[in-house]
Amino acid sequence: MIKLLFAFVFLTCFACHQQEKTNTASNLAVGTATTQNDPTRFRPIFHFSPPKNWVNDPNGLVYHQGNYHLFYQYNPYGTKWGHMTWAHATTKDFVSWENLPAAIPENEQDSIMIFSGSVVVDTENSSGFGTKEKPPLVAIYTAFNHSADAQKAGQSQHIAYSNDGGIAWVKYEKNPILDLKKKDFRDPNVFWHAPSKQWVMAVVLPLEFKCLFYGSKNLKEWKLLSEFADAGNKRLIWECPALVELALDGDEKNKKWALLISSAHPDSTSKYVGMQYFVGDFDGKTFKNLHKPSTTLWLEYGKDFYAAIPWNQNPDGRKIILGWMNNWAYADTIPTSPWRGQMSVPRTMALKTYAEGIRITQQPVKELEKLRKKLHHFENMEIGSPFDLIKGVRGNVLEIEIEFEIQDAKEFGIKVAQGKAEETIIGYEVGSQQVYIDRRKSGMVDFKNNFASKDSAPLRAENGKIKWKILLDKCSVEVFANDGIVAITSLIFPSAGSQGLSLFAKEGKVKIKHLMIWELGK
């Protein structure tokens, strides 16, 4: 999918096409000499990352025959964006992943890259690509024709199908299935809408800030149903739409729809990308926003969560999303090798009613609990000094659950990945009611001048308490605050020895009701 600054990136990648194919090693070594000599140093333990090369958006998330499938944007030739192809991996438990051959390759002969999209199990064989006894998988994706011929260039929607569980794919001979003859028209996300007995596609006109909804009976012929526009944040572009039905407050008889849109970041002074969402009703034709058009609801407050979409046809009914853990502002310079880019942990979404309205909550999938090894448990600790080391606990692959009871401290929190002159701070400012991740001293931050940052989110205490679930995995921190009403995701690149932990309070005291730290491993 085309992103911000695409023209520059594309021209660079295209000009280096032949060189990339013959000498990819020159594109793999990035960062300091230490990183180059230790390619596994930042390799995450429980986040998906490709064995090598560039990765961005998750695509085609679907459950089929006991496996959760992940397709994703991939460059087979190097660690920078280019030659977009759908790569493929599967998991049964969101912990262990099997890497499979590339699924839908770039068509270099016709100058067509394979951009973002979705996959469905065509259970009734409405497409005719399989049988009812053996339903096909159908991929719906954006084909980007980057031909120098202006008459051919642009983005349109294509389909492909698989009858062997997603390994081999056949492109539909009558592609495109949807073509508006536009330069920017992308990211179809398709699901079956039972009440209207049709497939529904959400797809965007990114520069026009519009989400279009189409309907189809057979996945091949599509009719425009409606469009959603003039709402939320329109500072950058709209990408990667996903329309998801969720039970409100756990009541399966009272459901609402959430429309996820990848767009701008809450930091309004920057060009960082981020994610927003809308809550409303969908009747099979029109999405009706329940909030004022000017309302912007942020799905994430960190810099490194983008292009998240849900798994289709999950048998247990959970709505699980996965996002790309990176940001276009510095994505092609992060100091990892021989890969660049990874995914967030899968997250279960829910809708909950708060005083300010209906909001999405996110929590890591429960399957990750099988990673828990040794537990360190502390209770009823009063923190009053500038910082207190958590004795006997170190690590860079951890799960932390902590509950604070606010007393008179003006600011408090926990520091992770601590070492000599390095720390990543998860903190809370009582006066402004803001939770934050501060990575300005987290280790390697100078590979791009806009990487070092402090990212904050509004968070009100509940009955005088603040709760966090924190996931630390080599080069990332994910924070889920107050049962997931706020999520903040940040990449970090600390020194290998920066594995210390400490608690802190400023200008007063705070009580730790409980603190549980699990060392994690497979």
User: Which residues are tagged catalytic?
Assistant: 57
Whether a cis peptide bond, with omega within 30° of 0, leads into 206 is no
Sequence-ordered list of residues with C-beta below 8 angstroms from that of 360, at least 6 positions apart, any chain: 246, 258, 277, 279, 297, 299, 349, 350, 351
Category of 109 on φ-ψ map: left (φ > 0), alpha (ψ -120 to 50) or beta: alpha
Phi, psi of 390 (to 5 degrees): -90, 100
Nearest Cα neighbor of 453 from 413, 492, 483, 414 is 492
For 37, 288, 414, 486, the CA distances from 33, given in Å and listed in that order, are: 6, 53, 30, 37
How far CA 186 is from CA of 40, 204, 237, in Å, comes to: 35, 6, 12
Per the CB < 8 A criterion, the answer to whether 425 and 505 are in contact is no
Closest residue by Cα to residue 498 from 383, 432, 416, 391: 416
Quote the CA–CA distance of 366 and 344 in Å, as a whole number. 14
Token pair listed for 91: 């998991």
Instruction: Transcribe 269-289 into DSSP letters.
Output: TS--EEEEEEEEEE-SS-EEE
Peptide bond into 338 cis (omega under 30): yes
Length of the chain: 522
One-letter identity of residue 340? R
Closest Cα partner for 409 from 507, 312, 514? 507
Give the angle subtended at the CA of 437 by the CAs of 434 and 443, to the nearest 5°: 155
CB-CB contact of 159 with 138 (8 Å) = yes
Residue matched to tokens 């006066």:
431
Helices (H), ranges, 112-156 = none
